[in-house]
Amino acid sequence: MRRTLRLALALLTVLPLAPKEALPEEFRRSTAFFPLAGYALGLPLSLLALLPLPEGLFAALALALLLGLTGFLHLDGLLDAADALLGARPREERLRLLKDPHLGAFAFGVGGVYLLLLWQALALVRDPLFLLLLPGFARFAILPFLNRYPLLHPGMAGLIRGGPVLPPLLLALPFPLLYPGPALLALLAAWGVAHLAARRLGGVNGDVLGAMIALSELGGLVGYALWRSLSG
């Protein structure tokens, strides 16, 4: 259990906790702790929300924490997936772009809009409990779709595919119970990326999973900000 928890933290954060010579079964079991890895990312955000900072400065610092503590891993996946999924081109060209380390126009455009929306949404969200729970739910949200859609090729996505679903569901459950609207938008965002990848690429991979997490978090934040604006 300790090894799989360390592995989950190593896969989803910059914390150097990966056990040596992890077995394939340990990678699969590590998904049980994906929400806990998300809570480890959400804790600094929730503590930051308690400080008397201006909205803009808080949002910038929260954005830096969220991206930095993940090693920009999910943002990188979002940028790679944007070039491959958007635009009109044949599937073979999409798959080539997914492997290309260079960024195209869609990556720059999507990345800019994503960061702008993320910053603005964070400026409107100062609920410490929400900020603690959202990253955990976003990392659970990829698991049902990872197990449903085909894989593009063996890789990290293949190593974690087929892991337990019930334990991470229970760990992530507080978020949809407390914030059902944002949770629904977060889940729909993850599904939308997975569905588009399955249609245009033929399946999902690590970059697609990163894009799913990034947009799931953004969907939850935007949903919360809209709810507060409409109810206020």
pLDDT in tens, 108-152: 999 999 999 999 999 999 999 999 999 999 999 999 999 899 998
| Full residue range of the structural domain in which residue 225 is found | 34-231
Angle of helix 73-85 relative to helix 105-124, nearest 10 degrees, comes to: 130
pLDDT-derived band at 219, boundaries 50, 70, 90: very high
The identity of residue 155, as a single letter, is: G
Question: Domain total for the chain?
Answer: 1
Q: Is residue 6 part of a domain?
A: no
Return the residue matching tokens 């949770």.
183
pLDDT-derived band at 155, boundaries 50, 70, 90: confident
What are φ and ψ of residue 151, in 5° steps? -90, 145
Q: Is residue 161 part of a domain?
A: yes
Q: Is residue 24 part of a domain?
A: no
Q: Is residue 165 part of a domain?
A: yes
Q: Is residue 13 part of a domain?
A: no
Instruction: Give the C-alpha separation, 10 to 147, whole Å.
Output: 21
Q: Is residue 28 part of a domain?
A: no
Q: Is residue 45 part of a domain?
A: yes
Which range (17-21, 184-188, 199-203, 225-229) has the least confidence? 17-21
Q: Specify the pTM.
A: 0.94
Q: Is residue 3 part of a domain?
A: no
